[in-house]
Structure 1
């Protein structure tokens, strides 16, 4: 599994939009964590953490999001809150296994980040399996990227080769925004640049002469060093002749 992390080139409107998406993901994560810990107080409820979080997601979808008080949530794709609850489930699982501490409430001070997935695929017919790789976002070479549910964005560094991914994580460090995505490949394709080979001939009058006729003049520091060396050699030869 390989991943790429590239910096996004955003205008002020795009920065505000991504900051809003991060705030939405943070709200859902904290909501899910609060509901989950509250559900542990009811000892008569026998259910695993995953089943509890599945029920919490249904409550959020059918009741919280439909509440007029939270109408602002409708402007954000559902993939954001699904991923936020999925990340919470992973954090709780790591805690249960003793691999990390208990999940903490997210705050803006710790930085903005959220994840989106491309979940929809192409099915030939009802009951038939999904066509392979249709639930993945194809990424073309160049300085543009399409993020599922969010649209197209410009990049400061180009995508180096044709690839695809299902999961995209957008994060902010200081005033810079980044997108990272995983690639299910065994080996990253090599980057091959077209170059022309030339021969090099080191000389006395010129530092080097290339086979295409280009001449390279020796740096002044090298010229001084060679002059000093010549003087030392001349003095040594003169001393030997006097003896």
Structure 2
């Protein structure tokens, strides 16, 4: 498994958009942490952290987001708050195992960051296999990247090769924004061509004519080589004639 971290080239409007997404993720994380710790004091409820967080996400989806005071949340994709609660679950799990301290409330002073995840793929019909790479975001080489739920953004440095990823983390360091994503270079999206196969006819007027009607002009180096070969053949025939 490999990962890339690239700096985004943003205008002021895009910076404000990403800052808003980070604030939304921070709000959801803190909301989930507060609800989880409060639920530990409820009597008569026997459930693990995972089930409690699942219930908290349902409460957030069905009640908090529908509240008139939180209509501003509708401008942000659901993948942001789902990932925020998923990150909280991982933090609690690490604490339970003793690998880290108890999760703390997120603060803007620690920097902005959030994660988006491309969810389920596309299934042609019930019972059939998922179409390849539809559960991942395919990334083309170049200085543009499409982030699920957020749209297309420019990059300072290009993506070096064709790849795909499912999870994207956007973070801010000082005044610079970055996107990082994991990928498996051994599993790249298949390349599809509009014409699978064509016939080739080598001719005189053109170097080659394809069955789809297009032609290929002979390179200049080939023309020079042909001219040189013709001269050598003419000289050899002339020598034989003189003898």
**TM-score of the superposed pair, with normalisation by structure 2:** 0.75
Matched residue, 2:167: 167
Matched residue, 1:106: 106
Q: Distance in 1 between matches of 2:187 and 2:139?
A: 17
State whether residues 118 and 137 of structure 2, in contact with CA within 8 Å, keep that contact through their aligned partners in structure 1: yes
**Deviation digits for residues 116-147 of structure 1, max 9, x if unmatched?**
01113110102333223210000000000000
**TM-score of the superposed pair, with normalisation by structure 1:** 0.75
Q: Distance in 1 between matches of 2:128 and 2:61?
A: 28
Matched residue, 1:30: 30
State whether residues 163 and 185 of structure 2, in contact with CA within 8 Å, keep that contact through their aligned partners in structure 1: no
Q: Distance in 1 between matches of 2:59 and 2:109?
A: 28
**Deviation digits for residues 180-231 of structure 1, max 9, x if unmatched?**
000024599xxxxxxxxxxxxxxxxxxxxxxxxxxxxxxxxxxxxxxxxxxx
Matched residue, 1:154: 154
Residue 17 in structure 1 maps to residue 17 in structure 2: yes
Q: Distance in 1 between matches of 2:184 and 2:47?
A: 34
Matched residue, 2:39: 39
Deviation at 1:113, TM superposition (A): 0.1
Matched residue, 1:134: 134
State whether residues 171 and 179 of structure 2, in contact with CA within 8 Å, keep that contact through their aligned partners in structure 1: yes
Q: Distance in 2 between matches of 1:61 and 1:55?
A: 10
**Deviation digits for residues 152-195 of structure 1, max 9, x if unmatched?**
0000000000000000000000000000000024599xxxxxxx
SS of residue paired to 1:96: helix
Task: List runs of 5+ in structure 2 lacking aligned partners.
Answer: 189-243
Task: List runs of 5+ in structure 1 lacking aligned partners.
Answer: 189-243
Matched residue, 2:48: 48
